[in-house]
A and B are shown apart, each in its own frame.
Chain A
Amino acid sequence: MSNTVINIENAVVSYREDIALRGVSLRVKSGEFVGIVGPNGAGKTTLLTIVNGLGKLIHGQVQVLGHHVTPGSGHFLRKKVGYVAQAQNIDPRMPMNVREVAMIGRYGLLGLLRRPGEHDWKIVDEMLELVGMTHLARRPIGHLSGGEQQRVAIARCLAQEPELFLLDEPTASLDWRAKTDILELVKLIHDSRHLTTLFVTHDLSSLPVACGRVVLMKEGLIWGEGSPEAALTDDNLSQLYDMPLSAVKARRKEAILI
């Protein structure tokens, strides 16, 4: 298939004594929005790291944007892959402002010995505008709230002009409002740019509505997949999270009330 942008075949990844992925295969088509759901420690983050070449495969292979991911091709590929992690603890005294942090997204593309020019700053300013952070552009990055920092992280990622958009629990530790805003922003970006997006979360309420396919992960394996309606049934969740069916039903009923 020519429009397959990610093709993972039987990937095994191990850190020290733990096996993080135990044979995972996944294909993602161009423009798809895939949610990856599962309990902590299921291997969701590891799955993202083998896509951007930071995780080390001990078995299997991964093709991204038509290239085999190898330790050698990692740098080259990462320039085309945007990655937003969960909110980081940033030193409030960090001597960098919001605009400079967003510009880091273009550093890989620019390559060694080249400085950002007018064109690069224009792109960064556009992206800050898109995520609604223009009014804070000159602020020290450490003075922003968690939600604002995540918006900047998304702007940084878009400034990279990525062909793939990876988000790893971008809304973890954010308040309800900030979480909702980030999810809407991610949906907006996917809808307007048709950017292939992988969205990892352990929290079902953080799964964006834009999500077209859900992959369920448990203990280093893909445990199930399908459309959100088909995959996220009470039965599936009960088994995925090892919770009694009645508890899952009660919890989801509560969640609807929010």
Chain B
Amino acid sequence: MDLSILGYQFMQNAILSAVLGGIACGTIGVFVVTMHMPFIGVCMSHAAFAGALLGLWLGFNPLLGAFGVSLASAAVIGPLADRGELSPETSVGVIFSLMLGLAFLFMGLMPGTKSGALELLWGSILTNTRSDVILLGIVAAVVVGLVFLFYKEFQATIFHRDMARSVGIPATVMLYGILFLTGATITASLRSIGGLLIFSLILNPAAAAYQLTYSMKRMFLLSAGFAVLSGLIGLLMSYLFNIPSGATIVITSSAIFGIATFFSPKRKVKPWQKKPLVEEKQ
């Protein structure tokens, strides 16, 4: 293969974006999957998309709009999710549809061509600039750094929020922290992957990792690894066949999930289930 393409800055930016965005999305995905809140993430990514369009329409930085609106949606969803026993799906559904409605409204109100808006919808990692890469780098570093520093608090919050609270861990702060990081990750990846597709890069790699391990640490590593792999393979496909990168990245991540599910040890009889009970007790 001709590797001279790696010499171009646009390709370097794209590769760095895939790696850094993959690390951030894969890490955030572990929370989304283990805490059973995929719908909340979908809602936040559409909120980010609506916010970015608001920015495009009114002429301020779309990423600022994306971050602001996705955090605002998290501020509404957070208390619903925190209530625990009550399923927040209905309320999140209402907010989700509102965000989609707002996105189309802003798109309709926008004068001139809609190419900028469509780019935010599909994403185009090949047009990422150095500043996009820097933003992704900062977000990836913050996400990974916080998970590393507060690993045990995050772990307890994932396991059971009420229980985490009862041992003196500020589970509510942790939950809002997770929502905040989700908003930041979605915002930073918006231009590369696109508002419609970004969520699958958060969900699929973590869902694949969830199929493969009973260790949370390994799940974080696998998930980030799968997300980076999806980004790189997707980028390669996009380049080779001249097809939209957002789509190839998301389809790759779905394929990885399919393979992981197929080989999942969680769907098979466990080694200890094969042993007779008497042996077990000794």
Question: Chain A residues in contact with chain B, CB under 8 A?
Answer: 52, 54, 75-79, 81, 83, 85, 88, 90-97, 100-101, 104-105, 107-110, 112-113, 115-116, 135, 139-141, 143, 156, 160
Contacts and interface: CB of A to CB of B under 8 A. Distances in A.
Contact of A95 (B156, B169, B213): B213
A79 B159 CA distance: 18
Closest 7 pairs between A and B when the two form their complex, measured CB to CB:
A108-B168, A79-B168, A83-B166, A78-B168, A108-B167, A140-B214, A95-B216
Contacts of B213: 95
B166 A115 contact: no
14 contacts: A75-B168, A78-B165, A93-B214, A94-B159, A95-B210, A95-B215, A96-B159, A104-B163, A107-B169, A108-B169, A109-B168, A113-B150, A116-B152, A135-B281
Contacts of B159: 94, 96, 101, 104, 141
Contacts of A112: 150, 153
Given A78-B165, A79-B168, A113-B149, A88 B160 contact: yes
The B contact surface, by secondary structure, is helix
Contacts of B37: none
Interface centre among A94, A109, A115, A139 (most CB of B within 10 A): A94
Contact of A107 (B153, B211, B215, B218): B153
Q: Chain B interface residue count: which class?
A: 20 to 34
Nearest to B219: A95
A228 B259 CA distance: 60
A170 B109 CA distance: 58
Interface in B35-63: 36
Contacts of B149: 113
Contacts of B241: none
Interface of B: 34, 36, 149-153, 155-156, 159-160, 162-170, 210-211, 213-216, 218-219, 266, 270, 272, 280-281
Nearest to A139: B272
A52 B167 CA distance: 9
Contacts of B162: 85
Contacts, number: 84
Given A95-B215, A107-B153, A110-B152, A135 B280 contact: yes
Contacts of A100: 155, 216
Given A95-B213, A113-B149, A107 B156 contact: yes
B270 A143 contact: yes
Contacts of B156: 104, 107
Nearest to B150: A112
Contacts of B169: 107-108
Nearest to B166: A83
B165 A54 contact: yes
B168 A76 contact: yes
A75 B153 contact: no
B270 A104 contact: no
Given A100-B155, A113-B149, A143-B270, A93 B163 contact: no
A78 B166 contact: yes
A91 B159 CA distance: 9
A93 B210 contact: yes
B270 to A, nearest CB: 7
Given A110-B152, A135-B280, A104 B210 contact: no
Contacts of A143: 270
Interface centre among A54, A79, A107, A115 (most CB of B within 10 A): A107
Contact of B34 (A88, A94, A109): A94
A131 to B, nearest CB: 15
Given A88-B160, A108-B167, 20 more contacts: A75-B170, A77-B168, A78-B167, A78-B168, A83-B163, A91-B36, A92-B266, A95-B218, A95-B219, A96-B216, A97-B215, A104-B155, A104-B167, A107-B167, A108-B168, A108-B169, A112-B150, A139-B272, A143-B270, A160-B167
Contacts of B152: 104, 107, 110, 115-116
A107 B169 CA distance: 7
A85 B163 contact: yes
B167 to A, nearest CB: 4
Nearest to A116: B152
A57 to B, nearest CB: 17
A230 B99 CA distance: 61
Contact of A104 (B36, B150, B164, B272): B164
A139 B150 CA distance: 24
A148 B42 CA distance: 36
Contacts of A139: 272
A104 B9 CA distance: 47
A74 to B, nearest CB: 8
A90 B151 CA distance: 20
